[in-house]
Amino acid sequence: MILRMQVYHVYIVTNYTRTVLYTGVTNNLEQRIAEHYLNRNDQSSFTGKYKTYYLLFYEAHQYILNAIAREKEIKGWSRPKKLALIKSFNPEMIFLNNEISSKWPPDEIFHRKDLL
């Protein structure tokens, strides 16, 4: 039996012009970024309304409670402090979607690999 260690990611996404920042937590970063992209016109969600699906920052955590605590910490920060964190990880603030995704942009019907 092979045990797969679960990894949780805290991430920050932005819109195309980098004017909006959204911080989230997930156990499947590729899937979650694809969901933000596929919901990009959903006016009922923050990320859909502002089209925030461009990944700028992510960090891994072994435990979900640590990831949630970190997400809450970052959400409480000012924009300049969030930008400093992003730039410490991604100095040019380039979009990292291709780095974490096997196919970007995702197809309109995106299947989770772990459910196939």
Task: Give mean pLDDT in consecutive 10-residue pieces for the chain, a chain of 116 residues.
Answer: 84 97 97 93 92 97 97 98 98 96 77 46
Q: What is the pLDDT of residue 110?
A: 53
The span from the CA of 15 to the CA of 56, in Å, is 10
Q: What is the pLDDT of residue 106?
A: 83
For the chain, give the mean pLDDT.
Answer: 91
Q: What is the pLDDT of residue 29?
A: 96
Q: What is the pLDDT of residue 37?
A: 94
Q: What is the pLDDT of residue 115?
A: 42
CATH architecture of 8-115: 3-Layer(aba) Sandwich (3.40)
Residue 90's beta-bridge partner residues?
Answer: none
Listed by start position, the domains of the chain span 8-115
What would the DSSP string read from start to end of 51-110? T--EEEEEEEESSHHHHHHHHHHHHTS-HHHHHHHHHHH-TT----HHHH-SSSSPPSS-
The span from the CA of 83 to the CA of 12, in Å, is 10
Q: What is the pLDDT of residue 114?
A: 44
Residue 13's beta-bridge partner residues?
Answer: 22, 55
